[in-house]
Amino acid sequence: MSQTQKATDVMRSLGGVEDLQNAAAAGLAPQGQLKANAHIHLPPNFSAFQTTRQAVELADEQGVRVLGAGNYYDYSVYAEFAELCRQRGIFPLFGTEIIALIDELVEGGVKINDPGNPGKMYICGKGISLFDDMTPRAAELLDTIRQSDRGRMAAMIDKLAETFKARGFDTALDEAAVIDMVVKRHGCDRDAVYLQERHLAQAFQETLFANVPADKRIETLSRILDAPAKAEDAVAVQGEIRSGLMKAGKCCFVEESFVNFDQAVELIVAFGGIPCYPTLADGASPICDYEAPVEKLIDTLKQNNIHCAEVIPLRNAPDVLRRYVKAMREAGLVVTAGTEHNTLDMPAIEPTCLNEQPVPEDLKEIFLEGAYVVAAHQFLVCNGQCGFVDAAGCPNPAYATAEKRIAAMAKLGAAVIQKFFKDNTPQ
């Protein structure tokens, strides 16, 4: 049995679809309002967590009972994630995140959900479960993404190493050395490592700190950046390396190569997932053109056959979050919420708003409903049936309206999660 199949077997072990549908009809559901987080990144993705175990244990300690991972480009960690969640009585959601480029929006200068790069879109897949036995087309798309990403990271490492050396500090780093650092940090398999910009910045920062005394670092970094350095702590120095050397227009930037929107959605659907738009809202100032006003965003998502959206409340003021989430939900979109944990900061696992303001209670209900829908979809597809969307990514045709589909899926998802809780008493 493959590692990824072990992850999805957690869903199949819950029983037959008809049995769970009957249990849902009879009212099987968790008591009270569960704490849910539908999107974190697990190492070896760049993450606040050192290990998957740490992520799951913190979720347990903080009372989060539904936890979703949304890793880039490798899913072997999901077997360990599912098993640790099972031991702790936390329901696991499996996801992915893909970066796409929309050429006409690049040319038009339209910013989507990346405030620094017009035409660049992050898109998530929720409730993926067919990543074990990929179709040839899915394997081809994933390999294209992986190879393009790896080539860019390798070229950027070479440029960083050359720049550091030319400016007086030889790091001796190359792609293999950076991967070695990630493997050592997280105890993971090399084949599971797909480097991100933050990995590179961390590797060069750690090498700098290991070889330059603290009282010489500002001077050395200023010389490397060819500009006055301000930061002294590790995370801030990583940020200065990224912004001062690695971003568009800087000396170590390497042009990005991505799949297009249709290919990203095709891969998500091939994985059995729900295509989901991650909404930045006032996480950018001003709000990105693509997302303003929210009514226009909703129309665009529907026109592109996207029926699920996600927010990361940490980025948002409560009033803006409410405006976006309420409008999306009233328009028949499912909405989930997460924290990503894709920096070295360690916020609470349960999502909060900007400056740790609490998420409004009515929005928590919407986010929990979204988690229930994803759970139902994941369970159904694992068992060979149509979930919230079908094999083409279109709304399940068994339901006449979006409201009926969401209500039915949320009810089933609640039953699925409660059955999981009954079967998996925390150890």
Domain ranges of the chain: 3-24+37-133+271-423, 142-246
pLDDT above 90 covers a percentage of the chain that reads: 89
Banded pLDDT at 427 (limits 50, 70, 90): low
Through-space distance between the first and last CA atoms of the chain, rounded to whole angstroms: 24
**What is residue 210's predicted lDDT score, i.e. its pLDDT?**
97
Neighbouring CB atoms inside 10 A of 22's CB total 12
For the cut 70, the answer to whether the pLDDT of residue 115 exceeds it is yes
Residue type present at position 259: V
Instruction: CATH number for 3-24+37-133+271-423: choose from 3.20.20.140, 3.20.20.70, 3.30.450.70, 3.40.50.300.
Output: 3.20.20.140
Burial class (CB in 10 A: 0-12, 13-18, 19+), 74: buried
Exposure string over 101-127, b if 16+ CB within 10 A, otherwise e: bbeebeeeeebbbbeebbbbbbbbbbb
For the cut 70, the answer to whether the pLDDT of residue 316 exceeds it is yes
The mean per-residue pLDDT over the stretch 213-217 comes to 95
What would the pLDDT profile of 177-202 be if each residue is shown by its tens digit?
Answer: 999 999 999 999 999 999 999 999 99
Cα 212 from Cα 168, distance rounded (Å): 12
What would the pLDDT profile of 368-391 be if each residue is shown by its tens digit?
Answer: 999 999 999 999 999 999 999 999
For the cut 90, the answer to whether the pLDDT of residue 241 exceeds it is yes
Q: What is the pTM of this model?
A: 0.94
DSSP letters along 279-304, please?
A: E-GGGSSSPPGGGSSHHHHHHHHHHT
Matching residue, tokens 């679809």: 17
